[in-house]
Homo-oligomer: A and B are copies of this chain.
Amino acid sequence: MPGIPREFRVSLPAWLDDELAAVPATIPDRAARMRLVHRLADRNWREGNGGPFAALVAEQDTGRIISVGVNVVLASGVSAAHAEIVALSLAQTAVGGWDLGAHGLPAHELIVNWRPCVQCYGATMWSGVRRLVIAGAGPELEDLTTFDEGPLGADWAEQLETRGIDVVQDQLRDEALAVFRAYREALDAGEVAVYNPRGESE
């Protein structure tokens, strides 16, 4: 069976270097960490890399930033390359192993600008993070952006808590919605490519 691919790669876009140049290595204030996520989410769709989504992994107690991720589905050509998968995989690359909750490591948290889709919900569960921090969890994301997030049970947060992952909700919620609204306005104005799981870019 010759010719089948042996490796795939997912990279952060080059504009992140600019965006992060003035960002300190440690951001002790959680709201400030979420503010950075919102800023990256907003720039991400404007740059055409993918949807209006960003994430980061930080050490829970110190606020040291281990990785950042943005949705690079369009840029990478990999449908799994949502912001959470990118941030978690890069964090694991940084610490040198698949388990961010391993003995000997500080506790890690994943910060995202809305409740993860069903894929990234599972990815969070298997990553070893001890906390998930989200800007919000309601239907507003799907209503505003038109993205399908997939089916999650009503007990989605308890299912994380049961597995030792704290869930912190409603962190800078209005700021998240402002990003989604801006994306939607550009969508309605025909200024950005739409993509969704059942069709190609339009």
Contact = CB atoms under 8 A, between A and B. Distances in A.
Contacts of A1: 20-21, 23-25, 65, 68
A119 to B, nearest CB: 3
Contacts of A6: 11-12, 16, 90
Contacts of A67: 4-5
B122 A121 contact: yes
Given A74-B98, A78-B89, A78-B93, A7 B2 contact: no
Contact of A77 (B20, B93, B164, B197): B93
Contacts of A3: 25
Q: Number of contact residues on A: which range applies?
A: 35 or more
Interface string A69-103: 00001101111110001101110111011111111
Interface string A117-133: 11111110111100000
**Most B CB atoms within 10 A — which of A5, A9, A12, A101?**
A5
A103 B200 contact: yes
B163 A8 contact: no
A22 to B, nearest CB: 9
A153 interface: yes
Interface in A137-151: 148, 150-151
Contacts of A100: 79
Nearest to A121: B118
B89 A8 contact: yes
B5 A7 contact: no
A67 to B, nearest CB: 6
A89 B80 contact: yes
A36 B19 CA distance: 46
Q: Top 7 closest A-B pairs, CB basis?
A: A119-B122, A118-B122, A102-B200, A7-B11, A79-B98, A1-B20, A8-B89
